[in-house]
Amino acid sequence: MTTSKSMHHTVRKRMVIKLGGSTLEGLNESFFENLKKLQESGIELIITHGGGPAINRELAVRGVESHALNGIRVTSEAAIAIVQSTLIGKVNPALVHELTTAGIAAIGLNGFDGQLIVADYLDKDVYGFVGEVKTVNTSLLEALISAGIVPVIACIGADERGQALNINGDTVASEIALAIDADSLLLVTDVSGIRINNEYQSKATPSFINQWIEEGHIYGGMLPKVQGALECLSAGIPSVQIVGDSLVGTTILSRMNGQ
Ligand SMILES: Nc1ncnc2c1ncn2[C@@H]1O[C@H](COP(=O)(O)OP(=O)(O)O)[C@@H](O)[C@H]1O
Ligand SMILES: CC(=O)N[C@@H](CCC(=O)OP(=O)(O)O)C(=O)O
């Protein structure tokens, strides 16, 4: 009797979808219908999200300054409280509401829930209260997935002392994809993929991406996306896509297929 994986497991397809703050507030009915269709086709969905614009508005209302470095928000003690309350208190429940309204069973989570995302400071002197992912509670996610519930994860990590740490949404998405061995990662943003010299790229490879970063064609908020994508690809996740809300964009593969 062979013990090949395919003989013991029904083929599962698992997709992590990250919804960027840039596009989150404008998603329409047809976007959620598309998600529902993906789910009905048998794909297991895990949703993560950011919320940069909502955080910016809240910071401005309260007069707290912040700036980005390499696409990552340098997060002061005053800022982390606002990031935490905005993502967990506002953005996450609003998204869960939209999903459940669309008929998708969903439950909101953040790094504190069941120690979902245990984090440590990325580099406190440089970035302040920004985290890097140490561990992901995959059994919690597996339990929800097998119950047919879509986990909706806000990008807040918790350190071992219970301090909230801000983690870029793209980084959380790729770390979750790696932890649960996803078959694909979909980063939904406000542009239809990677644009180089005014042209959207339908395909990309790690070597092109490294070149585009060096030449300055990829910058700011696109950096954590492609960095997460490269990590996923090198760990064996077959495909990462960066797309707009119509799900059209750039597919990043380890190598160009058939070309
Ligand atoms: N080469 C590139 N192609 C497309 N967008 C890019 C590129 N380089 C930088 N960007 C910027 O990245 C932005 C998307 O990142 P971000 O604003 O952080 O979105 P999100 O909130 O979805 O994470 C785009 O709107 C664009 O301004
Ligand atoms: C550390 C860090 O950069 N955290 C991000 C978290 C939100 C996010 O990633 O939002 P988007 O999806 O809109 O980019 C921030 O504070 O903006």
* Residues 39-58 pLDDT 10s: 999 999 999 999 999 999 99
Domain membership of residue 123 (yes or no) is yes
Domain membership of residue 61 (yes or no) is yes
Domain membership of residue 132 (yes or no) is yes
Strands 131-136, 13-19: pairing kind: unpaired
Which residues face 47 on adjacent strands? Answer: 17, 152
pLDDT (0 to 100) of residue 9: 56
Q: How far apart are CA 253 and CA 237, in angstroms?
A: 9
Q: Which residues line ligand 1 (CB under 6 A)?
A: 20-23, 50, 52, 169, 189-191, 194-196, 217-222
Number of domains, the chain: 1
Domain membership of residue 8 (yes or no) is no
Full domain range(s) for residue 155: 13-252
Domain membership of residue 228 (yes or no) is yes
Whether ipTM exceeds 0.90:
yes
Give phi and psi for 13, each to the nearest 5: -120, 130
CB 84 within 8 A of CB 129: no
Cα angle for residues 240, 241, 247 (degrees, 5° grid): 150
pLDDT (0 to 100) of residue 10: 65
Domain membership of residue 29 (yes or no) is yes
Q: Which positions of the chain have pLDDT values less than 70?
A: 1-10, 257-259
Ligand 2: atom nearest CA of 221 is 14
Q: Which residues line ligand 2 (CB under 6 A)?
A: 20-22, 50-52, 55, 72-73, 83, 130, 155, 166-169, 221
pLDDT (0 to 100) of residue 218: 98
pLDDT (0 to 100) of residue 11: 79
Q: Distances in Å between the alpha carbon of 72 and those of 35, 53, 197, 215?
A: 28, 13, 24, 20
Distance 84 CA to ligand 1 centre (A): 23
Question: 48-84: string of b/e by CB count within 10 Å (b at 16+)?
Answer: bbbbbbbbeebbeeeebebeeeebbbbbbeebbebbb
Q: What is the CATH number of the domain that holds 79?
A: 3.40.1160.10
pLDDT (0 to 100) of residue 156: 99
Q: How far apart are CA 67 and CA 46, in angstroms?
A: 29
pLDDT (0 to 100) of residue 256: 79
Domain membership of residue 93 (yes or no) is yes
pLDDT (0 to 100) of residue 259: 47
Domain membership of residue 201 (yes or no) is yes
Largest CA distance in the chain: 67
